[in-house]
Amino acid sequence: MQAKVVDIMSLSHLPMATTSYDYAYIIQLACIFILFILLFFLYLERRKFIHKVKDLKSIEEAVITRLLDSMSANFAFVDLDGTIRYVNQRVFKYLDINRKGLVGKKVTDVLSIFYEQSDILPDILEELRQGKDYIEFKTDTYLSEKDQDAVQLVGGAAFGIRDRNGRLLYILFFFRNINKEKRQQYTMDMILNRTHIFPWTIEINTGILTIDPRYFEYLGRPVENNTITTEDFRAIIHPDDVDAVFESMTGQFNGASLDAYVSYRLLRGDGTWEWFEAQSTYMQSVSGSPFQLIGICMSTQKYKETEIRLQEALEKAKQSEELKTAFLANMSHEIRTPLNAIMGFSNLLTDEDVKLGTDEAKEFSNIINQNGQHLLTLVSDILDLSRIESNEMVFNMQRYSLNALLTDIYKAQSLRMTPEVELVLQMPEYNTYLTTDSTRLTQVVNNLINNSRKFTKEGFIRFGYHLEDDGKSVYIFVHDTGCGMEQAELSQIFNRFYKGSPHVQGTGLGLSICKTIIEKLNGNITVISEKGRGTETILHLLLNR
């Protein structure tokens, strides 16, 4: 019994040891469990984070894709071996093909980029692979599907996309259709070239004027960079126009509105002045202050010349109307006067009650003859004027001896000269032939001599000809020592109905008709005169027409 008690007492310590061990074990298990729980939660959080990152990445990719698809430009991403990895939506509309037709294929198998009729796409890829970062498409570059006729003009570039170490990752092609822009540009260029309109701008803070390069070419004043300072621009404006030009510019610099155009003259490279018109407006900042003028200028020289010609034509028309009125009034006098003389002296000659001596009868007969000649000339001038107006004047062109023609004129005119005036014929000894209408040429020379006889009271009337040095043309001249003319009269003597003096007989048509006849004979007529020193009229004709 005792022994059993001892055993029991010795064993009484065992449960206490076992219980401590169990607590430690339980604690360890709990820690492991808690750690497991934490790791599990971390795992769950990581998975959530990964999903979130993937979602964000998907969202980012979707945003980028949506952004690229919504852009007006065309984009294509190509990897190193030339495989197309992405193209935005506009590319398909642009090329009228579907996405499957491009993505995943070699770009050189499906697309071509042409410049000067050569496909430069392989060269672009190679240059970017060799280290070039950027290649801009040149003017008149075309894009098309492979083996298709290229009609799409494009502007744009190709970029190399690299990592931090400079290693090429992708090639980005950016391009846009510029067909519409080109059409507008070509149309605008044609308009500007035909109308001589030049766009320009002025930077207000620098005073630099930038103008279309054609402007300087047109003026014959080449400059660098197509720019000119306002001071240099001032130097080529006509002094009378400088104030008007710079007042309008200064007003716009200060924000004034200008709707009207400004006319001014510019000095060309050859030293002549040319009329221009300019109109402009200003660009303003947020504060409303002008920072740039933009405008156009246009050459109006042809319009100015046309305006001057129209004004001159109007003045001539008014003058012609006045002269025609005076002509009609003068005609009644010119016709009645010789008719009265003819009728009066004819009555005297035929009146049996009037006893006339031989000398008186001869004088009256000469008066009748002279007035008859005057009437004949008057009627001839009117008929010639009518033929000229209706373009019915006929010319019989044949080869004539000029010496014989002038000799016949000399013989006929000598009979009409007064003793105070000597008629002189001056010709070379050799004979000269020319192809002309002898009747019309005789009419002109006689008319010139008759004019000289009217205004030459004494001295001489010398006429004749001499050859040009080249022997191909001839100068026929009529020179007198008459009263001559003022320089102001010389500009009007070929006008119809013009008479230097109202007291001299004539219709004012003779020289106008002479000028028309000589021009029809492919020649020209010149008059040289000085008041009190006489007049010389020169006809220049080709020998063989």
In this structure, the strands spanning 74-78 and 168-177 are: antiparallel
- What's the pLDDT at 525? 94
Percent of the chain's residues with pLDDT above 70: 81
In this structure, the strands spanning 459-467 and 421-426 are: parallel
- What's the pLDDT at 6? 45
Do 169 and 227 sit in the same domain of this protein? Answer: no
User: What is the pLDDT confidence band of residue 100, given thresholds at 50, 70 and 90?
Assistant: low
Choose from 44-53, 257-266, 292-301, 344-353 the range with maximum mean pLDDT.
292-301
Do 175 and 205 sit in the same domain of this protein? Answer: no
Do 537 and 433 sit in the same domain of this protein? Answer: yes
Task: Give 92: exposed, middle or buried? Use CB within 10 Å, 0-12, 13-18, 19+.
Answer: middle
Query: CA torsion, points 509, 512, 514, 516, in degrees to nearest 10?
Result: -130
323 assigned to some structural domain: no
The residue among 79 and 74 whose pLDDT is bigger is 79
Angle between helices 358-389 and 510-520 (to 10 degrees): 50
- What's the pLDDT at 275? 93
- What's the pLDDT at 96? 54
Reply yes or no on whether the pLDDT at 462 is more than 90: yes
How many domains does the chain divide into? Answer: 4
Reply yes or no on whether the pLDDT at 317 is more than 50: yes
Gap between the Cα atoms of 163 and 258, Å rounded: 55
366 assigned to some structural domain: no
- What's the pLDDT at 155? 84
Reply yes or no on whether the pLDDT at 14 is more than 50: no
Q: Are 102 and 91 in contact (CB under 8 A)?
A: yes
User: What is the pLDDT confidence band of residue 432, given thresholds at 50, 70 and 90?
Assistant: very high
166 assigned to some structural domain: yes
- What's the pLDDT at 72? 60
- What's the pLDDT at 5? 46
The residue among 431 and 67 whose pLDDT is bigger is 431
29 assigned to some structural domain: yes
Q: Which residues pair with 462 in a beta bridge?
A: 424, 479
Structure tokens at 353: 């009650």
Range list of H helices, 254-357? 301-350
Q: Are 85 and 103 in contact (CB under 8 A)?
A: yes
User: What is the pLDDT confidence band of residue 55, given thresholds at 50, 70 and 90?
Assistant: low
The residue among 85 and 151 whose pLDDT is bigger is 85
Reply yes or no on whether the pLDDT at 122 is more than 80: yes
- What's the pLDDT at 404? 93
Structure tokens at 341: 């003389």
Gap between the Cα atoms of 365 and 360, Å rounded: 8
Reply yes or no on whether the pLDDT at 64 is more than 60: no
The residue among 238 and 488 whose pLDDT is bigger is 238
333 assigned to some structural domain: no
Gap between the Cα atoms of 355 and 520, Å rounded: 53
Contacts of 486 (CB under 8 A, 6+ apart): 531
Do 52 and 171 sit in the same domain of this protein? Answer: no
- What's the pLDDT at 266? 93
Gap between the Cα atoms of 230 and 91, Å rounded: 47
Nearest to 293 by CA among 334, 256, 239: 256
Angle between helices 438-455 and 402-414 (to 10 degrees): 40
Percent of the chain's residues with pLDDT above 90: 22
- What's the pLDDT at 12? 47
Which domain-ending residue is among 160, 182, 204?
Answer: 182
Reply yes or no on whether the pLDDT at 523 is more than 80: yes
- What's the pLDDT at 195? 78
Q: Are 225 and 247 in contact (CB under 8 A)?
A: no
Question: Three-state SS for 150?
Answer: coil
Do 63 and 76 sit in the same domain of this protein? Answer: no
- What's the pLDDT at 184? 84
Gap between the Cα atoms of 381 and 444, Å rounded: 11
- What's the pLDDT at 425? 95
Question: What does the pLDDT average to over 228-235?
Answer: 90
- What's the pLDDT at 178? 81
The CATH number of whichever domain residue 519 belongs to comes to 3.30.565.10
Considering the entire predicted model, what is its pTM?
0.45
Question: What does the pLDDT average to over 496-501?
Answer: 69
Reply yes or no on whether the pLDDT at 51 is more than 70: no
390-410 per-position pLDDT tens digit: 677 778 899 999 999 999 999
Do 283 and 251 sit in the same domain of this protein? Answer: yes
The CATH number of whichever domain residue 132 belongs to comes to 3.30.450.20
Reply yes or no on whether the pLDDT at 442 is more than 80: yes
Q: Quick one: how far is CA 149 from the chain centroid?
A: 35
Question: What does the pLDDT average to over 174-192?
Answer: 82
- What's the pLDDT at 69? 58
Which domain-ending residue is among 127, 158, 182?
Answer: 182
Do 29 and 152 sit in the same domain of this protein? Answer: no
Reply yes or no on whether the pLDDT at 19 is more than 80: no
Reply yes or no on whether the pLDDT at 541 is more than 90: yes
- How high does pLDDT run on average in the chain? 81
Which domain-ending residue is among 241, 266, 299?
Answer: 299
The residue among 377 and 273 whose pLDDT is bigger is 273
Do 256 and 169 sit in the same domain of this protein? Answer: no
In this structure, the strands spanning 459-467 and 398-401 are: unpaired
269 assigned to some structural domain: yes
User: What is the pLDDT confidence band of residue 3, given thresholds at 50, 70 and 90?
Assistant: very low
Do 295 and 425 sit in the same domain of this protein? Answer: no
Gap between the Cα atoms of 266 and 238, Å rounded: 6
Reply yes or no on whether the pLDDT at 56 is more than 60: no
The residue among 133 and 55 whose pLDDT is bigger is 133
Structure tokens at 180: 């519409």
Rg, the chain, Cα only: 52
- What's the pLDDT at 505? 64
The residue among 61 and 31 whose pLDDT is bigger is 31
Gap between the Cα atoms of 368 and 381, Å rounded: 20
388 assigned to some structural domain: no
252 assigned to some structural domain: yes
The residue among 322 and 73 whose pLDDT is bigger is 322
Question: What does the pLDDT average to over 179-193?
Answer: 82
**Phi, psi torsion values for 295, nearest 5 degrees:** -170, -175
Exposure string for 222-236, b = 16+ CB within 10 A, e = fewer: eeeebbbebeebeee
Question: Three-state SS for 333?
Answer: helix
The residue among 23 and 474 whose pLDDT is bigger is 474
Do 53 and 148 sit in the same domain of this protein? Answer: no
State which residues form the domain around 165.
71-182
- What's the pLDDT at 265? 94
342-371 per-position pLDDT tens digit: 777 777 777 767 677 777 777 778 778 777
Do 165 and 88 sit in the same domain of this protein? Answer: yes
Do 427 and 511 sit in the same domain of this protein? Answer: yes
In this structure, the strands spanning 208-211 and 398-401 are: unpaired
Question: What does the pLDDT average to over 413-423?
Answer: 91
